[in-house]
Structure 1
């Protein structure tokens, strides 16, 4: 495969695995669109800009990318670096392509070299890309791969920043996704710019022994081939060069170049899994294997789907040779990783489940956002679980589990099964009892002891390493605490409603509006949010009041336009132009039928009817509306009367007696005695103001009564 291409025809040829004519037309259309957007633009390297998206798409053909992915690769810079818009992309291409272009545009705006980009935001947006559609990140990795090839064209200080970002973040993600071809190139080019002295030194040493190594590898290749031919095994064999970056890593761990066995390396590819083990046996029968250098990734695949047998043997010349043995299908997955199943959504459940498991580590970390996790802890989780090293530990039955380095028996228990984690009481590692905070290592055999009555401890959150484990522990305590939090939230809200003297029934009527505004599913979720201090009762009550006010503003608008007829809202009150609103009589002036009245649109309590001269209505002209008495309705109205009399007997009897013929009820009498007089405060029920006035006139006829007044305000 050529390193670079310069024409659309070359891209179509590289994508010859795509045979559908419509899909090929989509790729051509994307190229034409990108070509017109980038026309006349140059890259810092001096190349026409269109060559960049063209070669990003070309890199993706090595992963057998689908047509939508190739089209997106061609369009990936039309918004970020070009003058196009997402609306133009949506107009010309499918929803799927538009969504991918929008996703890659968001990711491309990120840079750790940008002063305003925090590590937290960078990681979060990268992880969103991974969990929403993994193709977004695969395109990003291919784009960075091509950019690294021309990194020489940007200023030196930026070269090092880009190389560091690539080496520490993007290359590990490529590894996680099993994209070995892209990972290797990203690591090699990054090291070249990030640690140029180390890179040059290793390259020089390798070049000085290249001829000798090539001869040795070719001879070993021939000898292994002869063994396989003799046994009628169909195979392919390749010499494999050790990357400069992997050698650099081993040198960093204190090894010498002469100690790195797999500088001499072969890869044998056969048809079936059974043949892999057959080849292993044949090679071991001829060449002595090095102790502790055998790894079976076929029986125990890596989480990035990699499968292979690894062994190191002393070759014909006494030098150690690492030999990898795998099937053709395993080789495809080893090279392309998660990209070997581009259309997995259309395939069987087995493939779908496999893909979901590979992406689960990223989702586990994103779920940390559901809890109160500090930015520092979030960054640490990404660095440990996505970018850091992993360990491989075993159950007593031989099942292997991958965990982040530093993981504990608790992490292991939860990885095996949530129930095992929740009921664990102890752990035995390699036949030794260990504490729960013991740090596991690759190769450990872990036996978890459980008790059905045991439960997790909150303290475990400070011990465990895996974000998946932390999420499961938090989920356990959330379930227990939720019921208690709901009750607490309900109680807090009711107390505040009562304190503010708001009608419970009226508040309940606004609950659907409150849930809608807060985007909360149910009443229980609302109470839970209050109980866990995510929402204050006042916030909820203010939304309720606002809903009532909105209704009132609508009423005022209707009244000002007089769009509706008078409607009877209370049997005895006619309110102009209003439908469906509460009407009540004011407590301050206590209107009685026959009084001149007006309506006041209150905040949260509908229309309140006052006497026209009520003191409390001053400065409220903008919320006053016309109301009138319904003459056809007969009912009683409460009002207050204050009577002052001389201090003699039988005055109260006369006050009561005078109500007999007027159909007036006295519901309450409060008597106060002063030195020379009595004061009687009455609450009376009357039919109308005329009857009230007649009663007051009769009282004044009593010579012992000094004054009679209706009490208002």
Structure 2
């Protein structure tokens, strides 16, 4: 745009598509055409003839009338304005429009491109643009119009980008115009002061180039990289230029030799294909030189591109190359079956020559190549106007080209509290240039940047409700919230039900995405007394406070003052539920449960009984479920290791003293009893349904968990005979309960009720000896 326009001199040579554009656009000729004024209304102005030619190459049936009218308005409104190079200002929107026409942009985008500076730099208003060209062109022009510094001060630039990104979320063509605008300004940056050149180049490097990469517009991205490279690293740029010039002067060209060999292989196989050499751009050569760590060989200065008609032909070409030439297996990548997040599709492979030189080969269809070069620009207009007003901008429409990264960016930018936070976070977010896909148990997917953790997945799926996240399962296994996710992982997030749940500060160490960091930071900022509340829990160094975050980031909810719930051994013989917390009080003294919510649990535990401790193996009392045995006079005892209840399939063994122990058939003790030669005794269930059973519960620690769990059990009619809560391990707590039920049929509903308690992720029957 105008503030960035200077002269047509570039910092160095331009290659590839940029060279073709430069050859076709003569700024002086455009300047003379602009000074001659608009053409007659019945014919296309000569000044935009080259734009029309490029446009018709991609869209033969395009209506050029909107372009003619846009040129007339743009030329007349910019007349008299000059660039710092001395050229008429109209040469800038013309050059930007030509760039987009070469990429294959449709007519609406080109119309908006010709007008993109009129509202910012002339007396033309958005309403005038809308009346003359429609709501869609108006939206695009508004999207790329800068905010005034007089209104926003130092925040004008970040707020302009915020506005532009929001507009891009509704229409990706906004960013297409901005990228082409920045490319032309970078080409003509030569007369700017060095410090201003550097500032513009850094913003281009940190924001515009990553956006071009994410939108798949490689033709713009590669030239922008070279122009930034020349400004910010002139010495390395000059060295790279010398390498390219020296290689071009070589008589032998290994790339040309291998290209001809590949053509021969494909001809013999009957595959119609176009094989071309694609020279690497400056930054690519520089990166290759640093990667190789040695002097570059001829094959390092370019790659072979094989273009075919159909997807299946791509794999046919791959098979022939790998059969007839020596493939470098480690270099193979299939971006056709699994496209990149920026729409890119291609097969990548490499073949080796006898002299050791390795040539990279790209295989794609012509359509894939078009998308690889132009990205979203090549997709044309993805929208359909409303039936009432064809072509109108529908504020509720969903852009089918809008990728997951853009949706995430739009989500977190709305929560950024100020321009500085937005600007710094945007640069960090765009620096994450790879994306992974993780799966949810319900069949949905989450797109996350590489390096994302379970914390990021929680906030991506649940927003600020993720404050209540207790933990996660990754590929079916319990995992800490700090676990780094890999592409293809399945993630099940375990959520609590407390609407006042609080995130842990330690989660910030594991939050990789802006959405997660901003949500956590915003909560912390709005709860300034949290730190003092943590000090009020009474937990000493090394003690465990249920709900407090472990170093690994497991579990949600920071314990509040007075809400600490100890865990340890709960004894029916005690006057109230109590527990010992290792290291939580001097001498390991018992601490009483501190919440009145435990009252139902204490009522359930009120009957006297023998104590049970984790390091003792006390057999459970015989249950009263009626087990009948085929041994007259025998005493029947239900085994405490598996606590069978009706209608479990059971087996009996005769032991000393005329006793028959009854086990579930799947109990681990059965094989041991059989191995010892114990006599098997026939057993069956009688009429009585009362039973005793031992259950294991596994949970994450949190305040009030023990009270909630025992209350739920009491609500199902279970009498708790004994309960053991083991010391926590990485915020996970294991509970063992022996309960008496008035009816064995209540067991399934009891286990369901226990699983429904927030923080409990598994409940199972005892199945091992010494439960």
Give the TM bin, normalised by the shorter chain.
Answer: 0.5 to 0.7
> Matched residues in 1 for 2:194 and 2:407: separation?
36
The question of whether the paired residues in 1 share the 8 Å contact of 2:438 and 2:491 is answered with no
Q: How does 1:10-29 map to 2 (within 5 A)?
A: 10-16=50-56, 17-19=58-60, 23-29=63-69
Q: How does 1:74-223 map to 2 (within 5 A)?
A: 74-106=114-146, 116-117=154-155, 120-212=158-250, 215-223=253-261
> Matched residues in 1 for 2:272 and 2:108: separation?
36
> Matched residues in 2 for 1:419 and 1:92: separation?
44
> Matched residues in 2 for 1:68 and 1:203: separation?
38
Pick the aligned partner of 1:46 from 81, 86, 92. 86
Pick the aligned partner of 1:436 from 476, 481, 488. 481
**Whose helix proportion is higher, 1 or 2?**
1
Q: 1:188 to 1:417 in 2, by over 3 A?
A: same
The question of whether the paired residues in 1 share the 8 Å contact of 2:473 and 2:491 is answered with yes
Superposed CA RMSD: 4.1
Q: 1:44 to 1:474 in 2, by over 3 A?
A: closer
The question of whether the paired residues in 2 share the 8 Å contact of 1:300 and 1:400 is answered with no
> Matched residues in 2 for 1:399 and 1:250: separation?
39
Pick the aligned partner of 1:446 from 479, 486, 489. 489
Corresponding residue for residue 407 of structure 1:
452
> Matched residues in 2 for 1:458 and 1:356: separation?
34
> Matched residues in 1 for 2:434 and 2:177: separation?
25
Secondary structure at the aligned position of 2:109 is classed as helix
TM-score normalised to structure 2 length? 0.53
Q: 1:444 to 1:251 in 2, by over 3 A?
A: farther
The question of whether the paired residues in 2 share the 8 Å contact of 1:68 and 1:97 is answered with yes
Quote the offset at 1:146 in angstroms.
1.3
Quote the offset at 1:263 in angstroms.
3.1
> Matched residues in 2 for 1:323 and 1:87: separation?
51
Q: How does 1:140-539 map to 2 (within 5 A)?
A: 140-212=178-250, 215-249=253-287, 255-256=293-294, 258=296, 263-315=301-353, 317-346=355-384, 355-356=399-400, 358-371=402-415, 373=417, 378-392=422-436, 403-411=448-456, 425-426=471-472, 435-440=480-485, 446-448=489-491, 458-459=503-504, 462=508, 463-467=510-514
Secondary structure at the aligned position of 2:274 is classed as strand
Secondary structure at the aligned position of 1:345 is classed as coil
> Matched residues in 1 for 2:281 and 2:401: separation?
29
1:35 matched to 2:78? The reply is no
Q: Unmatched 5+ residue regions in structure 2? A: 1-19, 31-46, 387-395, 524-771
**Residues 3-39 of structure 1, C-alpha deviation per residue, up to 9 Å, x if partnerless?**
2433222221111144557x31110111111111222
> Matched residues in 2 for 1:307 and 1:272: separation?
13
> Matched residues in 1 for 2:518 and 2:353: separation?
49
Secondary structure at the aligned position of 2:356 is classed as coil
> Matched residues in 2 for 1:466 and 1:26: separation?
42
> Matched residues in 1 for 2:157 and 2:348: separation?
37
**Residues 455-512 of structure 1, C-alpha deviation per residue, up to 9 Å, x if partnerless?**
997238523323456799999x9xxxxxxxxxxxxxxxxxxxxxxxxxxxxxxxxxxx
The question of whether the paired residues in 1 share the 8 Å contact of 2:206 and 2:430 is answered with no
The question of whether the paired residues in 2 share the 8 Å contact of 1:420 and 1:450 is answered with no
The question of whether the paired residues in 2 share the 8 Å contact of 1:235 and 1:269 is answered with yes
Moved more, 458-467 or 179-188: 458-467
Quote the offset at 1:417 in angstroms.
9.8
> Matched residues in 2 for 1:315 and 1:254: separation?
17
> Matched residues in 1 for 2:136 and 2:156: separation?
30
Quote the offset at 1:338 in angstroms.
1.1
Q: 1:234 to 1:202 in 2, by over 3 A?
A: same
The question of whether the paired residues in 1 share the 8 Å contact of 2:201 and 2:231 is answered with yes
The question of whether the paired residues in 2 share the 8 Å contact of 1:14 and 1:58 is answered with yes
Quote the offset at 1:142 in angstroms.
0.7
1:64 matched to 2:111? The reply is no
> Matched residues in 2 for 1:289 and 1:417: separation?
46
> Matched residues in 2 for 1:82 and 1:275: separation?
52
Secondary structure at the aligned position of 1:313 is classed as strand
> Matched residues in 1 for 2:272 and 2:439: separation?
36
Moved more, 353-362 or 94-103: 353-362
Moved more, 221-230 or 235-244: 235-244
Quote the offset at 1:360 in angstroms.
3.8
Secondary structure at the aligned position of 1:325 is classed as strand
> Matched residues in 1 for 2:197 and 2:322: separation?
46
**Alignment size in residue pairs:** 467
Secondary structure at the aligned position of 2:103 is classed as coil
Quote the offset at 1:255 in angstroms.
4.5
Quote the offset at 1:202 in angstroms.
0.9
Quote the offset at 1:199 in angstroms.
0.8
> Matched residues in 2 for 1:256 and 1:180: separation?
27
TM-score normalised to structure 1 length? 0.58
Q: 1:295 to 1:417 in 2, by over 3 A?
A: farther
> Matched residues in 2 for 1:228 and 1:110: separation?
59
Q: 1:369 to 1:233 in 2, by over 3 A?
A: closer
Q: Unmatched 5+ residue regions in structure 1? A: 478-713
Q: 1:151 to 1:359 in 2, by over 3 A?
A: same
Quote the offset at 1:377 in angstroms.
5.1
Q: 1:444 to 1:37 in 2, by over 3 A?
A: closer
Q: 1:43 to 1:450 in 2, by over 3 A?
A: closer
The question of whether the paired residues in 2 share the 8 Å contact of 1:178 and 1:335 is answered with yes
Q: How does 1:603-642 map to 2 (within 5 A)?
A: none
Q: 1:450 to 1:220 in 2, by over 3 A?
A: same
The question of whether the paired residues in 2 share the 8 Å contact of 1:202 and 1:248 is answered with yes
Corresponding residue for residue 703 of structure 1:
none
